[in-house]
Structure 1
Amino acid sequence: MEKKKKDTVKRKRKQKPSARELHRPRSSDANATFALLLASLSNTPHSVIFINKCLFKLRRFLLLSQTSMTPLLALLPTLLRSTRPELACRASDIIGAASLVSFDANEEFAFDSETVEGLISLFQSRIRKVLLSACNVVLDFSTTTFAQRQVLKFSALNKLMFVFLHIFNGLECARLWSECDESLHSLKIGIKEDELSLAFLSATVVLINACEVESIPQSLSEAFLRILKQIRVRVSDQEVIKGARKCNEEGRLYKSNIAASQPTGSLSFEVVQRGLFGASDTTSEDFISNYWEVSPFLLSRATRDPDMHDIFGAFVQSLNWNGRVPSLLSSILQHLVACFPIASDEQNILNFLNEVKDRLGCPIIYQQDIRAVKTERQSRKEMHYFRDFHSGCSKEPLYFTFDDVLKCGQAYKEGYTVALRGLEFCYQSIAAIADTLALMFGQPSVGANLYLTPPNSQGLVCHFDDHCVFVCQIFGSKQWTIFSPPSQLLPHLYDNLLGSDINCTKAGRREFFLREGDLLYIPRGFPHEAYTSSAVSDGSPGFSFHLTLSIEVEPPFEWGGVSHFALHCWSENQKRLLLHVAIGIISNFDPSFRKACLTAVVSLPPVVYNGLFQGQRNTFFYLIDKIRTESRFMEVLSSIEVAIQKNEDPFQQIRWLWVLCMEKETSSEYNTNKSFMIEDLLSLCAQHKDKFEAAFLNVKSRFCSEVVFEVVTSNRMLLQKCRNTRKQYINRMFLLHDKL
């Protein structure tokens, strides 16, 4: 009897549904819950609890099944605007959770304007838990570009910034947070005992990154960024450079690794043009026609227009120069943080920031941000003061400590030049000059470096650069020697120049002596060296403090890059790939393909622009004629074969174009494995040589006959995209520096 009873119990247990079955949502249950929710929507106290329970169940249905959002969309605006905070919070929680789980749900919510408006209306609440819920749902909701645009459309950013300015409790709550590994680059800013402030800060910065900075009201922007700078200054002071940390503070610490951007301006073209060339149009016209990428050019203070604008005045005033070099070094170095180089083909600032987010705000890095170097006159070799850094034995970034900063003063006393990279990231006055100069020469950005050289010393050994520079003598004086270029071909940006043979004994040379206020232009590819004297006849100090403004001609904006871009715009068919290789081969021999295309320059005097435009047009058709007459099928095949044998990419020179095409979802040719495609293409060419040669000649003939000069204007869109990426990065770096 006992055994029979046990068997009965077992049978009953087997008949019970499994846990999975119990928790699996059914559409009938979801529909019933939705019906009950709809019937119960009222402001009566007894219905609130029931509605909350219905929402809880509905949330579960939405997350664990494919239940449609459409019925809920009819109720969400009412729930979000409810005077009952628990209902508004529950409704916003549903939006945030469903948006993270399902892209389709995120899209449905974003498309419904009333739901988005209801969500933004939560920021009008004075209840902390409603505000916190609203911030969290904005963070969850803004995981897609479309949702970001929708919340921005309804002024979410303005409301976030406005509320943040009113709820932030003050600087006493800000702390510095160190992750458990306690590495120098793991420092974060935290806000103690104030989760709401941090939520608003995080949501605000997410939307700042997604919007055009010009759309932010100036009053809100200035107030918001002022607080962010104060937070940064308070929590860091000199702790980052010293490597000091604060962790395990009493109480709870909410941490964040987010940095916001600060809108930067440009100086007017007239101001920068007068600062470089004077008030006369003939000087700038003469420079563009006869010196740009052709020959050095000196603008001496003695011969400059007395009405020329001092474009570096604001920068000089910010240094508080008192005539003592050690204090100058200390005041500059103690405020700097590392500025990581951004790839030339990076067109999405969020991609780059995601790569370096854990290193933002770390101390300056030797050989990346700072160098202390001198050249021995007899041996003609560079020596680095920080030999341990220069040994190359460590693959990890070598951060400067506070003690190393102090040693720079001693290095200067021993004859070493202190060189700093990236001043456009640190000083708004320099950034404004650099940005305007980039526009003047049709390039995405201009870099700015600082060189402080003691008397009777030489910093860098004789070398040439892959970019053009304007040497701006701020204090002191320096002797420059510029030699004839070793090749007619201008170097590409990012070419490996190490080991380049520079025989200065046989090259022609020109001497230039720069005094305070002088400017010297040096084209890329021209070897040069500079040194200071122990005494100067005119009584000026023997040391030198100068800036170099580096005009980096990015590959897409050389004439070779313009040719590739014109071919891409003419046809996106895969057959054009062989012609891309042919253009690359020709550009390795014809100097015209290496020249900068200046069709995107702006605000030149009409007479200068008209002459420039005609010259650019002539250059374009000269290149097209070169492509027509010198593109040879067998040379292309040989070039691809050699590249494969060397394990090189025959399309490396148009990597930027490849990245651009990857953004087009309809371009299937770029979604395939590239290395496989190259080898497959070579194999097909070998098997069907006559057929592919005929196709190559046909593509070349049609392209050269049909392409028009106006296609170069399409290149301006790519230029603007690159400019936006660089400018956004510079904007974000400002808030990581104490001194702006």
Structure 2
Amino acid sequence: MADMGAPLKTTAVTMEGRKGRKRWRSHLHHHLSDARNPNILFSLTLAAVSKPSNPSLEPLIKQCLRKFVEFLSSASEPFLNPVLSLLPVLLRSECNQIACAAARIAGAMALVSIEANERIASESEILRGLVVKIVRSENKAVKKAMCNAVLDVSTTSFGRQRLIELSCLDYLMLGFHQLQKSLTSLLSVSIIEREGNPYLGVASSQDELPLLLLASVVTLTNSCNAGQLERIPKILVVALLIFLKQIWSAVREQLLAFRLLNSSEARYCHLSNFSAYNLAESIFRLSMDASALVCPRQSEIVIRDIFGSQQSSFMNFMSGHWESSPLLMTELSSDSDVLHDIFSSFMLCATCDEILPRFLSSTLRGMVSCPPIELNEIDTLSFLCDVRGMLGCPVRYQQDIRVVRTNLHSKSEEHYFREGSCRPLSIDDMLECEVAYREGYTIALRGMQFHFKSIGAISQEVASLFGQPAVSANLYVTPPNSQGLACHFDDHCVFVCQLYGIKEWAVFPQPVVQLPRLYEHVEVPKDLREGRQILLRAGDVLYIPRGFAHEAHTVTGVDANSRHDGFSVHLTLAIEVEPPFLWEGFAHVALHRWGHDHSFGSGSSWSLQANSVSILHLAIHLISDDVLLFRKACLVAASSLPSETKDWLDMNQRTIFNELVKKIDELASFEDSLEFLQLALQRNEDPFHWLRWLEHLNWGRGCARDNWHSDGNCRILTFIYQQKEDAKAAFADVKSKFCSEVLFDHAKETFGKLYALYKQARMQYLNGMLSLHC
């Protein structure tokens, strides 16, 4: 009997337990229906989630979460604390509906206020819970809810930075990579105009998840600093860039065609919160430090194809013509179609059949605008902030392209597009370029190194040869019997590389300006002496130093056997010497390093010595206006040199430096510097604006950095007038010691650090722009 009774007892207990749980759930539902107090709601939710093994409580939890959302519209600070403590548990729920509801609560809380956003962004467990669920959940609704919550947290800079610090971007990239099959929907992305900007969207019939993930990735990528970008695993970056570039290709076509949907058409789209320009910025950022984007060219090949095959040709050029006189370098061949090896990759993209004129429109269609980076800018991310809202737009007239011809009677330039400068070109405009070409206009394209990897590699190698951070490349396509640019001179040295056809150049014998600085503008006089006539054939290279006036036009009938007779295509490699890389810049670096080594800043003589260093910087700048040597390019950082040139160039640079020091000792004037400082302050100008680049170096105690602002300049002037004789004597003492003690090798070491900063920034810019074209 006992054995028969045991099961009956067990059944009775089970039934009683079920009745108890039923009464407990009924009790919770009763309180829930009457919940007016958030604390009661929290208690009910906590009680429900404390029994995770009971799936019958899921409907109750869902009701609680819906109530939470209602309370959020009027949430107060005390209410946020209990909710925050629940969210990590709720986000881990195996019930998809509960996880979605928790994500919606997290997102809603992040939008309540800036303070609430900071509170939720401070909870690492919540943020990680959101992004981990994106990767691990198989449910699309859950992934969407988590993405939306991440985007809500990302509405503040604090929220974005917290997500980045917790490596949430890595999870988002991984989640994006998991959706390979779904990503095809983004290739048919629509561009929707909103508030004047082109936003991305997909048709409402398509899956929204890839767009949400893309929005999350783009938002956080564009908020990373340099260190954070470097910490992203390379394998994720490479995989992501493949997809981003595919999407960008579809987006770019629509931007070029101006195919933008209006608000009424956008009703049938899932609209993102990021624009086409934000997408371009992400591609740029992720590509900046790509090591294999530009494959370096061998310096021997570059030197051979530009300077000639003789072993001593480069050194002869450096000693006899560099920055002093024009030079024609020619390698005649029995083959009239001979091509430079270094340009062969580019020229395969532009075969002669396409050049006239199909190559023009096809090339322009594949190009995006390349806004120029400012002089002395070495923070690429700062540059991106300046051009945000325009990066990736179609090429702009005057900035990226000019369509111009010279009136042979008036000798003045005429532009085919006369309306508005720096406006983006449409597809119709690009087709008009073909018409303009047939009417005798030259098509001049700037920044070809940003559009073709092969030219980018050549530009980098030439830059290394001359110790400069970068070299630019411009392409000129000129029709028969035509002249593009009027007679002019450049503020940079150029190597004119003739690719196709023949062009006749006139280079005038005396420079209009002796070694002009960048952006130094002087009108070319009309009474120039007769120029030297030079016929440039395919394969020839013409070197023209900065300051020498020149002009060129196409000719016909010179080579009847050539199928390229009449028109011309040439590429110019422009060596634009930025201020730090003139010899004046090296002198400033040498003074900076010398002051640092002498540890100015301690003792009673600090003000006299530090101010004397600042005044000596002014004096060097004034000398450079009159002494040509200071305006020559400094080649101390030159690399990739032929072996026979290295030692010669090093001795040459040391000799020049010694000459500079002598000039500083002879000509640096306290009175002239004081007058310059006075006049600048009277005009409310910064007397040291031309030297701001020196701040890129690590400052030691040897430079009066704090003096280099308006208040500091006034203090210098006041101090000098109060102790003029002492200040004058201190200046003479500092100048004498500097000129006798300065060491070339110390200055070279510091100069190398500065060069590396500029080189890295210019390389990042090159990589970013190339990535938008590949």
Query: Same fold, TM exceeding 0.5?
Result: yes
The residue aligned with 2:716 is 681
1:179 aligned to 2:194? yes
Correspondences of 1:543-622 after superposition (within 5 Å): 543-569=567-593, 570-571=595-596, 575=611, 576-622=613-659
Name the CA shift for 1:189/1:155 in 2 (closer, same or farther; >3 Å). closer
Amino acid at match of 1:545: V
- Cα distance 1:667–1:625, how it changes in 2: closer, same or farther (>3 A)? closer
Q: CA deviation at 1:546?
A: 0.9
How far, CA to CA, are the matches of 2:702 and 2:101 in structure 1? 46
Correspondence for 1:125: 136
Matches within 5 A, 1:263-274: 263=290, 264-270=293-299, 271-274=301-304
Cα distance, 1:207–1:384 mapped onto 2, change above 3 Å: closer
Q: Give the drift of 1:698.
A: 3.5
Partner of 1:642: 679
3-state SS, counterpart of residue 495 of structure 2? strand
SS at match of 2:357: helix
Match of 1:422 among 437, 443, 447: 447
Cα distance in 2 for partners of 1:303, 1:103 equals: 71
What does residue range 63-78 of structure 1 map to in structure 2 within 5 Å?
none
Distance 1:378 1:482 in 2: 20
Deviation at 1:359, TM superposition (A): 2.2
Tell me how far 1:222 sits from its aligned partner: 5.2
Using the alignment, how far apart are the partners of 2:623 and 2:452 within structure 1?
A: 42
The structural deviation recorded for 1:490 is 1.2
With over 3 angstroms needed to count, the CA separation of the structure-2 counterparts of 1:244 and 1:622, relative to structure 1, is: same
What is the Cα deviation at residue 608 of structure 1?
1.8
Superposed CA deviations along residues 340-371 of structure 1, whole A, max 9, x for unmatched, are 22211222223222222222333332222222
Contact 1:152/1:211 (<8 A) preserved: no
Q: Deviation of residue 39 (structure 1)?
A: 14
Distance of aligned partners of 1:703 and 1:545 in 2 relative to their CA distance in 1, 3 Å threshold: same
Q: Structure 1 residues 252 and 588, CA, compared in 2 at 3 Å: closer, same or farther?
A: same
Task: Look up the match of 1:234.
Answer: 250
**Mapped pair 1:467 → 2:492:** yes
**Other structure's SS at 2:664 match:** helix
Give the unaligned 5+ runs of structure 1: 1-24
The Cα offsets for residues 482-511 of structure 1, whole Å up to 9 and x where unpaired, read as 2234367411112234x24464217xx443
Gapped runs of 5+ residues in structure 2? 1-37, 602-609
Alignment partner, residue 657 of structure 1: 694
- The answer as to 2:719 corresponding to 1:697 is no
Of 83-92 and 520-529, more deviation after overlay is shown by 83-92
Per-residue deviation at 1:128?
0.6
Please give the residue correspondences for 1:32-181 in structure 2 after superposition, counting only pairs within 5 Å.
43=52, 85=99, 89=103, 121-126=132-137, 127-129=142-144, 131-132=146-147, 135-136=150-151, 139=154, 150-151=165-166, 159=174, 162-163=177-178, 165=180, 167-171=182-186, 173-181=188-196
User: Displacement, 1:668?
Assistant: 12
Mapped pair 1:329 → 2:360: yes
> Cα offset for 1:436?
2.9
- The Cα shift of 1:155 comes to 5.0
Q: What aligned pairs does 1:529-544 form with structure 2 within 5 A after superposition?
A: 529-537=551-559, 539-540=561-562, 541-544=565-568
CA distance in 2, matches of 1:101, 1:164: 34
Q: Read off the aligned partner of 1:726 and give its amino acid letter.
A: R
Deviations 1:660-680 (A, max 9, x none): 37x989999767893344344
Partners of 1:636 and 1:102 in 2: how far apart?
Answer: 56
Aligned pair in 2 of structure 1 residues 187, 97: CA closer, same or farther (>3 Å)?
Answer: closer
Partners of 1:633 and 1:530 in 2: CA distance: 47
Q: What is the aligned counterpart of 1:355 among 371, 374, 386?
A: 386
Q: CA deviation at 1:174?
A: 0.6
Larger Rg: 2
- 1:406 match: 431
- 1:627-667 residue CA offsets vs partner (Å, 9 max, x unmatched): 23321110101122333455543223213335x37x98999
CA contact (8 A) 1:99 1:140 kept: no
Q: Which amino acid aligns with 1:430?
A: I
The amino acid that maps onto 1:125 is: R
SS in structure 1 of the partner of residue 534 of structure 2 = strand
Q: How far did residue 268 of structure 1 move?
A: 2.7
Q: Aligned partners of 2:378 and 2:156: how far apart in 1?
A: 24
| Alignment correspondent of 2:539 | 517
Quote how far apart the aligned CAs of 1:732 are: 3.6
Alignment deviations for residues 21-70 of structure 1 (CA, whole Å, 9 cap, x no partner):
xxxx9xxx9xxx99x989987855669789989999999999959x9x9x
* Conserved? CA contact 1:423–1:448, under 8 Å: yes
Contact 2:121 2:127 in 1 (8 A): no
Distance in 2 separating the partners of 1:676 and 1:320: 60
Do the aligned partners of residues 585 and 700 (structure 1) sit closer, same or farther apart at CA in structure 2, a change above 3 Å counting? same
Q: Are 2:261 and 1:246 equivalent residues in the alignment?
A: yes
Match of residue 34 from structure 2: none
Question: Counterpart of 2:298 in structure 1: which amino acid?
Answer: F
How far off is 1:711 after superposition?
2.8
| Candidates 212, 221, 227, aligned match of 1:207 | 221
* Counterpart mapping for 1:270-309 below 5 A: 270=299, 271-277=301-307, 281-302=311-332
Report the AA paired with residue 426 of structure 1: H
Secondary structure (helix, strand or coil) at the match of 1:477 reads strand
The equivalent position to 2:348 in structure 1, one of 312, 317, 321, is 317
Query: Structure 1's 366 and 149: CA in aligned 2 closer, same or farther, altered over 3 A?
Result: same
TM-score, normalised with respect to structure 2: 0.75
Structure 1 distance, partners of 2:623, 2:47, is: 72
Question: Residues of 1 paired with 2:120 and 2:340: CA distance?
Answer: 53
1-structure distance, mates of 2:448, 2:83? 53
Could you tell me how far apart the structure 2 residues matched to 1:281 and 1:459 are? 36
Which string of whole-angstrom CA distances, capped at 9 and with x for unpartnered residues, describes residues 88-117 of structure 1? 8489769978997599989987xx8x9997
Alpha-carbon distance in 2 for matches of 1:465, 1:516: 23
Contact kept, 8 Å, 2:480 with 2:566, in 1: the verdict is yes
Query: Using the alignment, how far apart are the partners of 1:600 and 1:671 within structure 2?
Result: 29
Match of 1:373 among 380, 387, 404: 404
Change (3 A) 1:433 1:61: farther
Over aligned residues, Cα RMSD in angstroms?
4.7
**Separation (CA, whole Å) in 2 of partners of 1:438 and 1:156:** 39
- Cα separation, partners in 2 of 1:625 and 1:192, compared to 1, 3 Å: farther
Deviations 1:156-215 (A, max 9, x none): 57635534646535245510121244xxxx334334455543343344344376458888
Distance in 1 (alpha carbons) for counterparts of 2:619 and 2:459: 35
Q: Which moved more, 1:209-218 or 1:350-359?
A: 209-218
Per the alignment, residue 724 of structure 1 pairs with 760
The answer as to whether partners of 1:643 and 1:649 remain within 8 angstroms in 2 is yes
Q: Secondary structure at the match of 2:569?
A: strand
The alpha-carbon deviation at position 406 of structure 1 amounts to 2.7
Cα distance per residue 1:523-542 (max 9 Å; x no partner): 22222111111221353311
Amino acid at match of 1:433: I
Contact 1:299 1:518 in 2 (8 A): yes
Secondary structure in structure 2 of the residue aligned to 1:607: helix
Instruction: Tell whether 2:527 aligns with 1:527.
Output: no
Structure 2: distance between partners of 1:665 and 1:86: 55
Please name the residue that 1:712 is paired with: 748
Whole-angstrom CA distance in 1 between matches of 2:665 and 2:65: 73
